[in-house]
Amino acid sequence: MQNTDAVPGSVKKILFSLGVTPSARRGQTFLIRREMAEKIAGLASLTPDDAVLEIGPGLGTLTGALIGAAGRVVAVESDRRLAAWLRDRFRDCRTFELIHADALRIDLAGLLAGMAAHGRRVKVVSNIPYSISGPLIARLMGASGDWLLMVLTVQRELARRITANPGGKEYGAFTVLCRCRAESEEAFTIAPGAFYPRPGVDSSVVVFRSRPSPVIPAAEEAAFLSLVRLLFSQRRKSIGTVLKRAMKGHPAAERLREAFSSSGMDPAVRPERLGVEEFRRLGEALGRVGWGNTA
């Protein structure tokens, strides 16, 4: 089987032979540097006791590094031609499984839970197409109880949003979503030259560590995130202004001041200044005054 880790030209030839044209619209690029794949895999500290989920393996540059370190590797590839090529490339590897499916449509939680059989630790290590990064990470966060660690290569702009601290322009509802389920850090940046075709921006590798228990109880998370999205929908406005408008005509509107007082929140503050715990206190206070519908 041909080596896909050497030069962009060889990758281009393989893709041409398969009839695959990388889609700029989908943010589809292929990692072509083996040393970079090994560096990404190294962040996961893999052992034979680990089962790894890789989403969007492409031509398998990262896959090869994962197979050499983990006890089991499950790859999900949506393109049937790439899926067939990967099955052939790793046909002699008994610890490798290829699933031809759309990662946004399959039961990720069920897949991850199944991978944890026999006491294996589950980790997700992937270079994700830019076009599905946000929705896919949101789905993976929803299944955070089924994985221990994630190492994801994403657009650097998204990495900054994920790891942002309150007060910055990158900090937003997506940051809060990720922080409810995991701790995250940006490990390193990858220049465009490590991919074919070269993306127009830098990429970053982000490491997520699942929290032992979510910051927000599962039964309350939907309402909590609805409140967060509402407040960030007008991030330049104060939380008092946003909530006053949203609660107009609702019986609980008359008790809004009470909710701010009991939560210790300043109604003049903007949402970008609030941490997860402050959003939680505000949500609980609003619930106590009778405004539980934050959709």
Residues of the chain with CATH 1.10.8.100: 218-288
Question: Is the pLDDT reported for residue 228 higher than 80?
Answer: yes
How many degrees, rounded to 5, is the angle at CA 66 between CA 136 and CA 36?
A: 85
pLDDT band of residue 24 (cuts 50, 70, 90) is: low
Cis peptide before 197 (omega within 30 of 0): yes
Check whether 160 has a pLDDT greater than 50: yes
Question: For residue 188, what pLDDT is reported?
Answer: 98
Q: Give the separation between CA 243 and CA 170, rounded to whole angstroms.
A: 22
Residue 3's pLDDT band (boundaries 50, 70, 90)? very low
Mean pLDDT in residue range 177-182: 95
Give the residue carrying structure tokens 């993306």.
Answer: 199
CATH 3.40.50.150 intervals, the chain: 8-210
CA-to-CA dists, residue 140 to 113, 128, 145, 249, 295, angstroms: 12, 12, 10, 37, 22
Model confidence at 6, pLDDT cuts 50, 70, 90, reads very low
Residue 153, Cβ neighbours under 10 Å: how many?
Answer: 27
Flag whether pLDDT at 294 surpasses 60.
no
Please tell me the predicted confidence (pLDDT) of residue 218: 86
How would you class 251 by CB atoms within 10 Å of its CB: exposed for 0-12, middle for 13-18, buried for 19 or more? exposed
pLDDT of the residue at 68: 87
Give me the pLDDT at residue 10, please. Answer: 87
Q: Quick check: 45 pLDDT over 60? A: yes
**pLDDT confidence of residue 214:** 83
Other Cβ atoms within 10 Å of 207 Cβ, number: 20
Closest CA to 182 of 223, 138, 225: 138
Query: How many angstroms from the chain centroid is the CA of residue 205?
Result: 11
CATH topology of domain 218-288: Helicase, Ruva Protein; domain 3 (1.10.8)
Domain 8-210 -> CATH class: alpha beta
pLDDT higher than threshold 60 for residue 168: yes
Per-residue pLDDT band at 5 (split at 50, 70, 90): very low
**Averaged pLDDT of the chain:** 93
Per-residue pLDDT tens digits for 246-281:
999 999 999 999 999 999 999 999 999 999 999 999
Percentage of the chain surpassing pLDDT 90?
85
Specify the pLDDT at position 8: 55
**Per-residue pLDDT reduced to its tens digit, 92-135:** 999 999 999 999 999 999 999 999 988 899 999 999 988 899 99
Model pLDDT, residue 1: 36
Residue 295 has pLDDT above 80, yes or no: no
